[in-house]
Amino acid sequence: MKALLLVAHGSRRAESNAEVGRLADELRARAGAEFGWVGHAFLELAEPSIAQGMGQAAAAGAEELLVLPYFLSAGRHVVKDIPDEVALGLGEQPQLRVSVAPYLGAMPGVSDLLLATALRLSAGGA
């Protein structure tokens, strides 16, 4: 079974963390047959951690896990901290096959999304 783990930075503001949870809920509701489990995790300041999220996915029966970094730029968090945390999680779940997607800011559709939003608002008289 394939699983999806949305990974965000984490915030001291509970509402920001709850936003990430709701986004994961949306992904889960629409993941269809491709992903049998969808969850979220935080790099810091909130739980579950990435390793905990990987444990949850494994406990749910995941054999493959795709990590989706919810980050806008290729800073230290994306380049080093997320891979380090994934490696930590793999120490506990060595059977899990894990891959890490490009971070959100590097996904080819970001400019489409921004432009579509701008055009929609502009047409509405923004």
State the residues that interact with a second copy by CB under 8 A. Answer: 2, 4, 6, 8-9, 11, 13, 15-16, 19-20, 23, 26-27, 30-31, 34-35, 64, 66, 68, 70-75, 99, 101-102, 104-105, 107, 109-111, 113-119, 121-122, 126
User: Residue 22 burial by CB count (10 A; 0-12/13-18/19+): exposed, middle or buried?
Assistant: exposed
- Distance in Å, CB of 94 to a second copy, minimum: 19
- Distance in Å, CB of 89 to a second copy, minimum: 17
Beta 97-100 vs 64-69: how paired, if at all?
A: parallel
- Distance in Å, CB of 26 to a second copy, minimum: 4
For the sheet with 64-69, list strands across it: 37-42, 2-8, 64-69, 97-100
